[in-house]
Amino acid sequence: MAHSPIREEDIARLVPTFYGRVRQDSLLGPIFNDAVTDWAHHLATLQDFWSSVLLASGRYKGQPMIAHVRHENRMSREAFGRWLDIWRQTTSELFEPAMAAMLQEKADRIAESLQLGMSFYRDRKSA
């Protein structure tokens, strides 16, 4: 695996900044604020997730698809698009362009995977 130029400190800055913006967003805020009861714990879990994705740290032990399927009725294509827009804005502001592009590419793939999984779940549920 290629060495990632991102560090744990970068992830620790990115995650709370990004989710602070998500929580204030008119579309995403209600979804996330209704779903998350303990933001300190959730942010720590999200930092573990991104550390595992970006640094192969292995800290994240959860199942993101299951967590998102629970909210599939509220997670529309528009909501995923807004999430990605805020991610792009935040990463572009916090990091130099090459790093921001790498982070955006990772998030695009994760969002696509979650959307495909949720679509599969919806199709199976309605069959």
Higher pLDDT, 39 or 116: 39
Assigned CATH class of 8-126: mainly alpha
pLDDT number for residue 1: 40
Dihedral sign, CA of 110, 15, 97, 88?
positive
Residues 6+ apart with CB under 8 A from 96: none
Give residue limits of the domains in the chain.
Answer: 8-126
Which tens digit of pLDDT belongs to each residue from 35-89?
899 999 999 999 999 999 999 999 988 776 666 566 566 677 898 899 999 999 9
Give the position of tokens 């913006």. 21
